[in-house]
Structure 1
Amino acid sequence: MKSFEVLLLMFLCIQTTISSVSSTNTAVVCSKAEKQALLSFKKGLKDPTNWLSSWIGEDCCTWKGVSCNNRTGHVVKAGPPFCSVGASVPYLDMSGINLSNSTDYLQVLNKLPSLRDLFLSSCELNPIHDLPAQLVNFSSLTIIDLLENNFNSLAPDWLFSIPSLVSLELSWNSFYGPIPVGLQNMTSLKILDLSENNFNSTIPDWLYNLRSLVTLDISDNNLRGSITSVVGNLTSITRLYLWGNELEESFGNLSQLGELYISHNSLEGEVSEVHFANLTRLKAFYASSTSLILKVSSDWIPPFQLQDIQMRSWHVGPQFPGWLQTQKSISYLDLSSTGISDEIPTWF
């Protein structure tokens, strides 16, 4: 389906009518393309009152709230109550619809002031960088998902002028340049996914000041430099994904952390009991393909109970790590190429 058909439908929901002529002629049947556009838009809307239940059958001109031109059969009005004047469309999911020919999708969406959740993943969108700040009126937006649009550009500034955002999904978009400085003002963010891009800076310390973050994924970029102790400011973080970069040093002191992914980095040096001291909630530890050395005492009792352990290419041996005996919930374990040359203990 062409992108302009979906956007036209959105305009129809925003505008009460495009034409004063509507169909009462039962011989007029709506076009197949416009019927599919209506059904696609219906799929992306929440309809708690079941108002759209009549949107079935071959002729969309007979559906509740839909009017057609009595000569051409084109839809000229589509007005369910939550679309009237575009005032109360809280949820819109157009993922997977090809919008590559659309250049004004932001202007259209900007006419939905009650929009809270916006999903436009895999839409082949074109980047819009020159939208004036005064035209951005997404004051109600809390979720934006732009996964896998392959923009191949700098991240657009308008994304970082929405302080109400709680979740921002920007992975698989070929964004490049430094981590956008505009993020530092988005203090309400709980989920930030910048993974699978080409960001190529160090990790700025201000990123660690987004204290509401629960999930931070900056994996598989070209980030470099040290993970500084300031990472400890992320006091709410439970999932931290850093793998696939060129990062150095340790990973901080994060007491709420449940999942830590630091594989395929330039991490090196010794990791001792102190590094794990406050990770009491850690359940998943993925840290393969690094040059780290585990230095813990033979009677060390970790403060966590891990379910997934991936420490491939660490230096752990030659003895089989006794602390594994304390981990009662392991479902996945990778200790390959860790220098262990010991017998497998009977308790294992």
Structure 2
Amino acid sequence: MCRTTNLLLTLISISIFPFFTNGALQPQHQHAHGGGCNPDERATLLSFKKGITSNDANILTSWQGQDCCRWRGVSCSNRTGHVIKLHLRNPNVALDTYGEYDVCGGASALFGEISPSLLSLKHLEHMDLSMNCLLGTNSQIPHLLGSMGNLRYLNLSGIPFTGRVPPHLGNLSKLQYLDLGQDGDYSDMYSTDITWLTKLAFLKFLGMSGVNLSGIVDWPQTLNMIPPLRVIDLSYCLLDSANQSLAHLNLTKLEKLDLSYNDFEHSLASGWFWKATSLKYLDLGQNSLFGQFPDMLGNMTYLQVLDISQNWNGDMMMTGNLKNL
């Protein structure tokens, strides 16, 4: 069922959020001004390459020669020549014997560390290192990432980090896309306070699937302070409840909310999310929710996908004109 849910999540992401891959969050310029990259930035990328201990898929074999803007996964501004995009996502993730992702078990991943040298890429706007085994020496998310202040897009999903999510990420004030998710499974990452997210005033996409957020009671209030949010994925986060009271919902642009595989165990009707009438996708599966739908469901006319599987809700009645469901 987890695979089916993830597939639905992916399909609807493709259909309603093309700007994350083709629009404003992605640097549009692919070649450097003057036909060559900045020598200091080329040296920085080569220093990053030295921190890669295994590259069996030869992802970085093109990283040679003077023009780093032609290297695989590197894009530069055609106006300034500065490196603005580093996209090294592993596209061929291995699966373990249970059919789950095994990022560090496949030959296609990059192994090594996220080098501190990347701090020298002052103009970097987009960094995607997802689905690689870049754990370094302590397997934690490097605090240095909180100093890359020009980033608008940061994707570290699938990297099996451990330990606390650094609140320093709140310093990335320009960030619009943040994905730390572990692709539908529990991880050894945790956070006891997510108020640092409120510093990300332009955030549209938040993925923290698999990060242990147990004990954080006020998480809906925190997210409600980030009005631009369109996508929230807090599946497998061990959240205790979703029945907090929000006097006024600021998340008027929210289109996708995944709260599956948490520990709510309360009345379905008491969830704060029924106020989010802009939602197109709502996943509440595997939460021990019970009772019937609230009348507010009838106001969610944009809803295309509603997953309430694996809850205690055998006698539910659905009302309203949900013509897009």
* TM superposition score category, shorter chain reference: 0.5 to 0.7
When normalised by structure 2's length, the TM-score is 0.63
Please state if 1:164 is matched with 2:150.
Answer: yes
How far apart are the structure 2 equivalents of 1:246 and 1:299? 26
Please state if 1:233 is matched with 2:219.
Answer: no
Residue 85 (structure 2) aligns with: 117
Q: Determine helix, strand or coil for the equivalent of 2:149.
A: coil
> Structure 1 residues 276, 169: CA separation in 2 closer, same or farther (over 3 Å shift)?
closer
Residue 83 (structure 1) aligns with: 36
Report the identity percentage. Answer: 23
**Offset, 1:312:** 1.0
How far apart are the structure 2 equivalents of 1:149 and 1:298? 45
> Any runs of at least 4 consecutive aligned residues in structure 1 with deviations exceeding 6 A, and if so which?
none
Residue 150 (structure 1) aligns with: 133
> Structure 1 residues 142, 294: CA separation in 2 closer, same or farther (over 3 Å shift)?
farther
**Offset, 1:141:** 0.7
Alignment check: 8 A CA contact 1:301 1:326 kept:
yes
Give a deviation string over 1:170-218, Cα, whole Å, max 9, x none: 0111111111121011111110000115312334222244221100000
Kindly provide the amino acid, as one letter, of the partner of residue 234 in structure 1: I
**Offset, 1:156:** 1.7
How far apart are the structure 2 equivalents of 1:294 and 1:256? 28
Alignment check: 8 A CA contact 1:215 1:238 kept:
yes
**Offset, 1:143:** 0.2
Alignment check: 8 A CA contact 1:294 1:314 kept:
no
Alignment check: 8 A CA contact 2:279 2:303 kept:
yes
What is the alpha-carbon root mean square deviation over aligned residues?
A: 3.6
Which has the higher relative contact order, 1 or 2, with Cα contacts under 8 A spaced 6 or more apart? 2
**Offset, 1:300:** 6.0
How far apart are the structure 2 equivalents of 1:301 and 1:82? 57
Alignment check: 8 A CA contact 1:82 1:88 kept:
no
Alignment check: 8 A CA contact 2:175 2:203 kept:
yes
How far apart are the structure 1 equivalents of 2:207 and 2:37? 38
**Offset, 1:298:** 6.2
Alignment check: 8 A CA contact 1:273 1:295 kept:
no
Pairing of 1:276-315 with structure 2 (within 5 A): 276=273, 278-296=275-293, 301-315=298-312
Kindly provide the amino acid, as one letter, of the partner of residue 327 in structure 1: L
Q: Determine helix, strand or coil for the equivalent of 2:289.
A: strand
**Offset, 1:227:** 4.8
Which ranges of structure 2 fall in alignment gaps of 5 or more residues? 1-28, 50-54, 64-70, 91-108
Residue 136 (structure 1) aligns with: 119
**Offset, 1:126:** 1.1
Q: Determine helix, strand or coil for the equivalent of 1:158.
A: helix
How far apart are the structure 1 equivalents of 2:311 and 2:34? 60
Q: Which has the larger radius of gyration?
A: 1
Residue 216 (structure 1) aligns with: 206
Give a deviation string over 1:299-343, Cα, whole Å, max 9, x none: 96234431111001333342x5131x511012xxxxxxxxxxxxx
Alignment check: 8 A CA contact 2:274 2:297 kept:
no
